[in-house]
Amino acid sequence: MDWSDEGIVLSARKHGESAAIVTLFTRGHGRHAGLVRGGAGRRQRGLYQAGNRLTATWRARLEEQLGSFSCEMMRAYAAEVMSDRLSLAALSSAAILLEMTLPEREPHEDVFDEFSTLLDSLLSPGWEVAYVRWELGLLGALGFGLDLASCAVTGTTENLTHVSPRSGRAVSGEAGFAYRDRLLILPQFLLDDSDQEQPTHAEIIDGLVLTGHFLERHVFAPENREIPAARPRLVDAIRRATTLSSNSNVS
């Protein structure tokens, strides 16, 4: 059994003295693990950093075996974002979310392409918007997409300001006014994909709170798992950056 594909590193865990068990998200074979001999050694470990895009060949005697990978670098995304602490945190969060949510060895080419687009966006200003939209898309790919097209109460498509934490449906400002303390804020940049003024940091946080709620509710809680630590670390890092920026502007 063997195949070749392009893949993005999700994780690499040391195995024995110098080997590593590497998990790739491949275009045609989905989330797939394999043993890399020497993968944790000095010469190769830089290759298997989360986010790096590789060409990979997997080999095993039987399809159900772990098998082994041999890989070559296509693009070193990890090194490209290394100097930006927030972008690196976003990459780590996205990679672990994929590793923990995607079914093993099941192709998801649309999710692969969206992840590739996200990695490209991490190198540009305003990547936070792309990240929140990416998590929203991941929820949809997992079967838990939100319905933000119209108000769940009145059916209107105007003035959609909140989301029901139970149904995942949008609610208008008028219909949700009496219950706004129980609803999740719907940032407007999730309703409009066209070019617009960069959302505020508060709106980015609202978006992360929104997607984080449904990731926990629908994906992790039913399996008695906690959302991976890299994800709240990203939210905390963005909050701290927002606070530092605000204090700097005041001074």
161 lies in the same domain as 244: yes
Terminal CA-CA length for the chain: 63
Question: Would you state the pLDDT for residue 174?
Answer: 95
Question: Would you state the pLDDT for residue 245?
Answer: 58
Sort 232 into a burial class: Cβ within 10 Å, 0-12 / 13-18 / 19+: middle
Please work out, in degrees rounded to the nearest 5, the angle formed at the alpha carbon of residue 30 by the alpha carbons of 26 and 34. 70
Question: Would you state the pLDDT for residue 155?
Answer: 96
Q: Extract the residue ranges of the chain whose pLDDT is less than 50.
A: 250-251
152 lies in the same domain as 96: yes
| Angle (deg, nearest 10), helices 230-250 and 201-214 | 160
111 lies in the same domain as 73: no
130 lies in the same domain as 212: yes
64 lies in the same domain as 114: no
Tell me how far the alpha carbon of residue 95 is from its chain's centroid: 6
For the chain, the domain total comes to 2
219 lies in the same domain as 120: yes
The CATH number that applies at residue 13 is 2.40.50.140
Structural domain harbouring 57: 2-79
Question: Would you state the pLDDT for residue 33?
Answer: 97
Query: How far is CA 57 from each of CA 4, 29, 68, 107, 222, rounded to the nearest angstrom?
Result: 4, 11, 8, 16, 35
Last residue of a domain, one of 79, 106, 125: 79
Conformation bin of residue 23: beta by default, left when phi > 0, alpha when psi is -120 to 50: beta
Residue whose C-alpha is closest to residue 31's, from 124, 105, 136, 119: 105
Question: Would you state the pLDDT for residue 28?
Answer: 96
Question: Would you state the pLDDT for residue 196?
Answer: 61
Question: Would you state the pLDDT for residue 251?
Answer: 41
Question: Would you state the pLDDT for residue 63?
Answer: 87
Q: Has this prediction a pTM greater than 0.75?
A: yes
125 lies in the same domain as 54: no
